[in-house]
Chain A
């Protein structure tokens, strides 16, 4: 089954404790991206990757890191989480750039930073 998976689905952590949210897709997509969704602000792109070892900032990259060492995986790293990073996070993938192709979204990771 074609899908995007994220882990964990729910996470409660404390300020400053490094964490990684994993994202994996099994569709051989070149493009992957991370979004956060907040009430009243909609979905905002954090980072995206056009292919292996190619990443770029989205609209809200501060406080996040990403890497793309393999085509299927695109982890999101919070080196020192803060309460303002409490949010619902989505990973997405597509065949090419997201402005031209439909996006396949993961189920989401709900992160709470206390």
Chain B
């Protein structure tokens, strides 16, 4: 079952600009995670934000979580060509099986 839905599906910006991606979900969650995937490769974990947290930072990444709106955003500041990848949100549901449910991702392209 798909839980997280990313928006936009694709985003193209100039190097140095900020990139914002959004994720919406449907059920109660324990946490929400963001992953990056370079073309055809394995996913790399970026940030985990728990349901009782509102904002989290890691380097140039900033994640917010609004549980009342069931949404999250990932902001990448001062983008670089190396940030070109697909970004996925994944939700850990608070009830039921111990699993992550992934969205379909946002394809981010950073133009030099």
Contacts and interface: CB of A to CB of B under 8 A. Distances in A.
Contact of B42 (A31, A58, A90, A100): A90
A104 B35 CA distance: 10
A40 B33 CA distance: 20
B57 interface: no
6 contacts: A99-B100, A100-B30, A103-B43, A105-B42, A107-B41, A108-B40
A42 B104 contact: yes
A59 B40 contact: no
The 5 A-B pairs at the shortest CB distance, nearest first, are namely A99-B92, A97-B98, A105-B42, A42-B104, A102-B45
Counting chain A CB atoms within 10 Å of each CB, the highest count among B1, B41, B98 belongs to: B98
Contacts, number: 76
Given A33-B99, A100-B98, A40 B104 contact: yes
Interface of B: 1-2, 30-31, 33, 35, 40-45, 48, 88, 90-94, 97-105
Nearest to A40: B104
A85 B30 CA distance: 31
Given A88-B40, A103-B90, 9 more contacts: A40-B104, A43-B90, A45-B100, A45-B101, A90-B42, A97-B92, A99-B91, A99-B99, A104-B45
Contacts of A97: 92, 98-99
A50 interface: yes
A43 B41 contact: no
Contacts of B100: 45, 98-99, 103
Nearest to B33: A102
Contacts of B94: 99
Contacts of B33: 102-103
Interface in A76-108: 88, 90, 92, 96-108
B92 A100 contact: yes
